[in-house]
Amino acid sequence: MPRVPVRLMLAPFFGLAFVFAEARGRDDAPRRNLVLFLVDDLGWQDCSVPHHSASTPFNERYRTPHLERLAAEGVVFTQAYASAPVCTPTRTSIMTGRSPAANDITYWILHGDQDTSAKHPMVRAPEWNIRGLQEEDSTLPRILSDAGYVTIHAGKAHLGARGTSGADPHHLGFAVNIAGHAAGGPGSFYGAHDFSAAWRGGGNVWDVPGLEEYHGRDVFLTEAIAERALAELDDPVTTGTPFFLHFAPYAVHAPIMANRRYLDSYAELDEREASYATMIETVDAALGALLAKLSALGVLEETAIIFTSDNGGLSAHARGGEKHSHNAPLRSGKGSAYEGGVRVPFVTRIPGVTRAGTRSDVPVISHDLFPTLLALADVDVPDDHDVEGVDLMPAFGGGPLEDERDLYWHMPHFWGVHGPGIEPYSAVRSGDWKLLWFHPDRRLELYDLATDVGESRDVAAKEPEVVKRLTESLSKWLARTDAGLSIDVETGDPVALPRR
């Protein structure tokens, strides 16, 4: 009997054709379920939900109707940031509530005995935690598991390095691990390739584990992960146990590969950009399938959903069209100190908390998710676990946070791809001011994001008092977190703090 392509079998699944189950009737108030939908490399403009003051051509390019629904029923944060401009530092910050500097996980990881930093002619990376998170670390899923939650990881982990305990999400507190391991990108998005890099001559370190049932089949990786993840929700709902689903598709990370059943919608784009658009639409279809599954199980109104990305959108390479332009009006993209590298989409729907159709310009950052998700679960942050993130519940209700605060970034590594702001750096945002300190030549740049979101006008020379205040703030934070500073290759010494 001929094998039916999985994409055909999944078409009703992703088209929301579910038979809706009758909601559970319980006298006791249910504990809130949690879903963190963490997309990989999804830029601020990579969806049809505007995060700018008005819709842009990029918003009009992409088809994300299910994210539009989430936004219409919840809150869009227009000034949300990743903890870092690359993946592992952000992902581990979410799991701990601490900045990359405080975790000493300031770059992406792969092997437990290798520094992945690219070579720079003027500075080199300091010593840092190249192993990532380990089984002895206090993590969000471990705390939730101890509080009675079923913890499910699905997709990209990239939290602990290969050859260490943290490579397996089970060792970090997840009861279920679907396709997560040390590598941050897939060998392939095609089941026909066995999700392996063999088709491109790549090593097996990139092969996605645990999805052998889909090997040789006509299925896209995002669809396979979604199918497996949603099946894991049945048991906790049946038993009345709250769950935390960390849904982290490898998409839209490279290699950029088309989900061919969506290609006809993007005939006007060049081949590479059309392929990228299909990856985004496939992620949105997975979100739609999740919403439908939660409705079918009768728990949609008991579930908090947060949708965001781990860093800005890829733009320096591997894309079609002009480099460094794919996050416009933001400057640059993934790997960069500029807004295109760190500003990300952020949409949340929390029944009983968020107000439908709300937009918020409160600046938030990825490591806020740790205390926020614990608060949503009514679980305390452990007394012995220091966090830098703050509980976003007041902002979810449409108001300000209780206290104004500065946001900080620190990445003393060179990504290896050249482009605007792709250098070892530290930065602070205070109000609408953003100060950048680039380690190689120690230069300082200052931007007023209220009037210059594209960071095209450096006003450091015109605002010496602001520069002085922010360099002091940044220097104190770097000292407080014991941040590793770039090493000057000529002197062999760490670069001096930027305070004046």
Alpha helices in 191-325 (DSSP H): 221-231, 234-239, 271-296
Burial of 117 (0-12, 13-18, 19+ CB in 10 A): buried
Which DSSP state fits 40? S
Task: Tell whether the torsion through CA atoms of 296, 301, 304 and 310 is positive or negative.
Answer: positive
Q: What are phi and psi of 7, to 5 degrees?
A: -60, -30
pTM: 0.94
Domains of the chain as residue ranges with CATH? 32-405 (3.40.720.10), 408-488 (3.30.1120.10)
CB 374 within 8 A of CB 144: yes
Q: Give the three-state DSSP class for 480.
A: helix
pLDDT in tens, the chain (500 residues): 333 334 333 443 444 333 223 333 334 668 999 999 999 999 999 999 999 999 999 999 999 999 999 999 999 999 999 999 999 999 999 999 999 999 999 999 999 999 999 999 999 999 999 999 999 999 999 999 999 999 999 999 999 999 999 999 999 999 999 999 999 999 999 999 999 999 999 889 999 999 999 999 999 999 999 999 999 999 999 999 999 999 999 999 999 999 999 999 999 999 999 999 999 999 999 999 999 999 999 999 999 999 999 999 999 999 999 999 999 999 999 999 999 999 999 999 999 999 999 999 999 999 999 999 999 999 999 999 999 999 999 999 888 998 889 999 999 999 999 999 999 999 999 999 999 999 999 999 999 999 999 999 999 999 999 999 999 999 999 999 999 999 999 999 999 999 86
Task: For residue 63, give Cα distances in angstroms to 38, 272, 282, 284, 395.
Answer: 18, 16, 9, 8, 27
Supply 321's token pair.
């069209």
Instruction: Name 54's Cβ contacts closer than 8 Å, sequence gap at least 6.
Output: none
Q: Cα torsion for 178, 179, 183, 187, to the nearest 10°?
A: -160
